[in-house]
Amino acid sequence: MDRALEKFGNDIAIAFSGAEDVALIEYAHLTGRPFRVFSLDTGRLNPETYRFFDEVEKHFGIRIEYMFPDAVEVQALVRSKGLFSFYEDGHQECCRVRKVRPLRRALKGLRAWITGQRKDQSPGTRSEIPVVQVDPVFEGLEGGVGSLVKWNPVANVKGNDIWNFLRTMDVPINSLHSQGYISIGCEPCTRPVLPGQHEREGRWWWEDAKAKECGLHKGNIKQEDAAVNGNGNGAGNASEAVADIFNSQNLVTLNRTGMENLARLDHRQEPWLVVLYAPWCQFCQAMEGSYVELADKLAGNGVKVGKFRADGDQKEYAKQKLQLGSFPTILFFPKHSSKPIKYPSERRDVDSLMAFVDALR
């Protein structure tokens, strides 16, 4: 913790979830260095968690930097699917709107972040967490792959040792812990666990055990399917159960026929920007917010924005006809040319993408 704060100063922040992450704040406090703390307020947390936030601020004399989901996105989700759609079609979409996208916004203002991930939290998905890493999913202040460092200082610490530390230091603790909650998230998706149950059993209990991640630490998930490897270029078929991404009313979903028609045209009424993607690819997921924001900015401005799912049966076609090398691949189809232009950069923030479009349209 001391090394992280010394190295990055005001450009690093602790991600605080309202559970035992208070140990991170205590460690930071003990260094004597200034530190920042941010938290994701999904709007669906338990009352006890909100009171806990207040206690932590007063105890340490700090102000937690809260990140909130986009009101328009939440409104669209609730209006179209209701307040509890995750019980029927999985938690990924709701988590993406209420947690992942706000986290992405927070991290774009940092060069590094500190998490409370531990290997023993979820042996099936977190068993290979390193203490320090280049973040494999999210982008930092400078944008592009490798622009964000992720510190996991308690990766090798056991849960009972964390709790011994908290009791010894007499710091505030979420009162839900005394009611049987161990891993604490949003109120509708968290419940107490029974003696002998693993702590993650209380999260999204209606889903398969392998799905017990919200997307914040997707890059650290241990992948057992060879189709979902680190560079997004798996040879197999990705799971059809993965929720789709790049969902926006300003984005056109293209099927194989639509893609072939678009590629054949010599004279288009409008230029097109199209992402070739796989929803399970962590790099595609990482650029989702930027691409959707770009589509919203370009709406009504003379450029169509689309997406084409290019994994599975479509992968060979995309490799042979659409310049697919790795996911994501972004193509610009000019108005008066049949040949698409491939976006050459690893920088996938909205400003870089917009500069590419502006240079070509």
Residue spans of the domains in the chain: they are 1-220, 252-359
Q: How many CA atoms lie within 13 A of 323 on its CB side?
A: 14
Question: Between these two residues, 30 and 72, which has the higher pLDDT value?
Answer: 30
Pairing of strands 341-342, 304-309: unpaired
C-alpha to C-alpha distances, 295 to 244, 285, 349, nearest whole angstrom: 17, 16, 13
217 close to 117: Cβ distance less than 8 angstroms: yes
Structure tokens at 118: 């531990």
Chain centre to alpha carbon of residue 91: 13
| Average pLDDT of the segment spanning 311-335 | 93
The pLDDT confidence band at residue 321, using thresholds 50, 70 and 90, is: very high
Confidence check: pLDDT of 261 > 60: yes
The pLDDT confidence band at residue 237, using thresholds 50, 70 and 90, is: very low
C-alpha to C-alpha distances, 175 to 1, 41, 51, 95, 231, nearest whole angstrom: 26, 18, 9, 24, 41
Rounded to the nearest 5 degrees, what angle is found at the Cα of 70, between the Cα atoms of 241 and 176? 75
Number of neighbours of residue 32 by Cβ within 10 angstroms: 9
Confidence check: pLDDT of 217 > 60: no
- What are 265-295's pLDDT values in tens digits? 878 889 999 999 999 888 898 888 889 999 9
Task: Give me the pLDDT at residue 182, please.
Answer: 84
Same CATH topology for 1-220 and 252-359: the answer is no
Q: Cα(71)–Cα(77) distance, rounded to whole angstroms?
A: 10
| Average pLDDT of the segment spanning 12-29 | 93
| Average pLDDT of the segment spanning 355-360 | 92
- What are 111-150's pLDDT values in tens digits? 999 999 998 876 666 678 899 999 988 889 988 778 999 9
Annotated catalytic residue within 94, 95, 189, 284: 284
Task: Give me the pLDDT at residue 346, please.
Answer: 83
Which residues are paired to 134 by β-bridges?
149
CATH class of residue range 1-220: alpha beta
Annotated catalytic residue within 186, 189, 214, 281: 281
Q: Is 55 exposed, middle or buried (0-12, 13-18, 19+ CB in 10 A)?
A: middle
| Average pLDDT of the segment spanning 327-354 | 89
Chain centre to alpha carbon of residue 320: 31
The pLDDT confidence band at residue 216, using thresholds 50, 70 and 90, is: low
Question: What's the whole-model pTM score?
Answer: 0.67
- The letter for the amino acid at 316 is E
Kindly report the CATH number that applies to the domain delimited by 252-359.
Answer: 3.40.30.10
Q: Would you call 284 a catalytic residue per the annotation? A: yes
| Average pLDDT of the segment spanning 223-239 | 40
Confidence check: pLDDT of 229 > 50: no
Q: Cα(288)–Cα(283) distance, rounded to whole angstroms?
A: 9
Confidence check: pLDDT of 235 > 80: no
Task: Give me the pLDDT at residue 224, please.
Answer: 38
Number of neighbours of residue 266 by Cβ within 10 angstroms: 8
Q: Among 20-24, 117-121, 212-216, 221-225, whose mean pLDDT is lowest?
A: 221-225
Tokens 């972004």, residue?
330
Question: Between these two residues, 342 and 226, which has the higher pLDDT value?
Answer: 342
Q: Among 101-110, 200-209, 245-254, 331-340, whose mean pLDDT is lowest?
A: 200-209
Q: Would you call 281 a catalytic residue per the annotation? A: yes
Q: Cα(207)–Cα(138) distance, rounded to whole angstroms?
A: 26
- How much is the mean pLDDT over the chain? 86
Question: Between these two residues, 9 and 197, which has the higher pLDDT value?
Answer: 9
